[in-house]
A and B are shown apart, each in its own frame.
Chain A
Amino acid sequence: MIEGVSLIEILSLTTILFFIGVYGFLTRTNLIAMLMSLELMINAEAINFVAINKYLSPAIMQGQVFSLFIIALAAAETALALAIILHLFRLTDSIDVKDVEELKY
């Protein structure tokens, strides 16, 4: 619990952060940049869980552990995603999102 800061403020912050991530994901043209936007979203959630845990049920620690797992998962996800992106780069020499539009209609 942060003195003088309500949960609403924290949640608002994370919401903004989350949707900044969404916005980034929707507008970046580069796969790695999109992945970074994704990180913003995941981070927002991590804060959420921690903050809610802290404010609402500090004794139970569910949120905090959840956040830990989120971070671990984010790491795994990022690793896998980057591996694939890099592989794509090998094949096509590009990581621009417009180069993964072959499958359509």
Chain B
Amino acid sequence: MERVIFYILAFLIIGLALMSITTKKLYRATMYLLFVLVSISGIYFLMEYNFMGAVQLSVYAGGIMVLFIYAVLLTDQIGKPLRDTSWKRKLLAGIISMGAAALSIYAIVTFQGINKTFEPTVTRVEDIGEKLLSYEPGGFVLPFEVISILLLAAMIGAIVIAKAKKLVNQEKN
């Protein structure tokens, strides 16, 4: 059963991803991407990583996609068809990507140690929280702190640039 669902999801992900990167309409692309992200959260749920699935849905599908949509709106790209790139580039990119993908998949398939099986466990939200705040071996408090600074820095960076936009506008007027 899960296998069937997985394959459905997999086809959704791949199909929608392909559509997302090939469609001529930018807004549609964002929508396809949204569906991809949602499908991916399905995979998380399927793996019984519910917290991950939730995060995926809320942060990605909820947060990041909104940013994208705003950006698309702000840059006035809804109706415009996207310029097509040259066939040469497509061919080259296709060859490289497919080749790399084939290579990677071959590597994955031939890897010996990958079929170990473990007893299934369910990760609870509490466990994750505990781990995130633990400074013992296996804990992740340091990354947690670091990413806070990172987010702060990214935020400041984004704000500064956003502010600059205003300044540019002022300057323009």
Task: Report A's interface with B, CB cutoff 8 A.
Answer: 1-13, 15-24, 26-30, 32-33, 35-37, 39-40, 43, 46-47, 50-51, 54-62, 64-65, 67-69, 71-80, 82-87, 89-91, 95-96, 98
Are B47 and A50 closer than 8 Å at their CB atoms?
A: yes
Are B44 and A50 closer than 8 Å at their CB atoms?
A: yes
Most chain B beta-carbon contacts within 10 A, residue among A7, A65, A89 = A65
The DSSP consensus for interface residues of chain A is helix
For chain B, give the interface size range: 35 or more
Are A95 and B75 closer than 8 Å at their CB atoms?
A: yes
Are B154 and A77 closer than 8 Å at their CB atoms?
A: yes
Are A58 and B168 closer than 8 Å at their CB atoms?
A: no
Are A89 and B52 closer than 8 Å at their CB atoms?
A: no
Once A29-B84, A71-B59, A75-B64 are accepted as A-B contacts, the answer to whether A86 and B105 lie under 8 Å apart by CB is: no
Q: Which chain A positions have C-beta within 8 A of B164?
A: 87
Are B67 and A79 closer than 8 Å at their CB atoms?
A: yes
B143 CB-CB contact with A under 8 Å: yes
Once A23-B21, A86-B75, A90-B169 are accepted as A-B contacts, the answer to whether A96 and B161 lie under 8 Å apart by CB is: no
Q: Which chain A positions have C-beta within 8 A of B3?
A: 2-5
CB-contact partner of B168 in A17, A18, A46, A90, under 8 A: A90
Which residue of B has the minimal Cβ distance to A23? B97
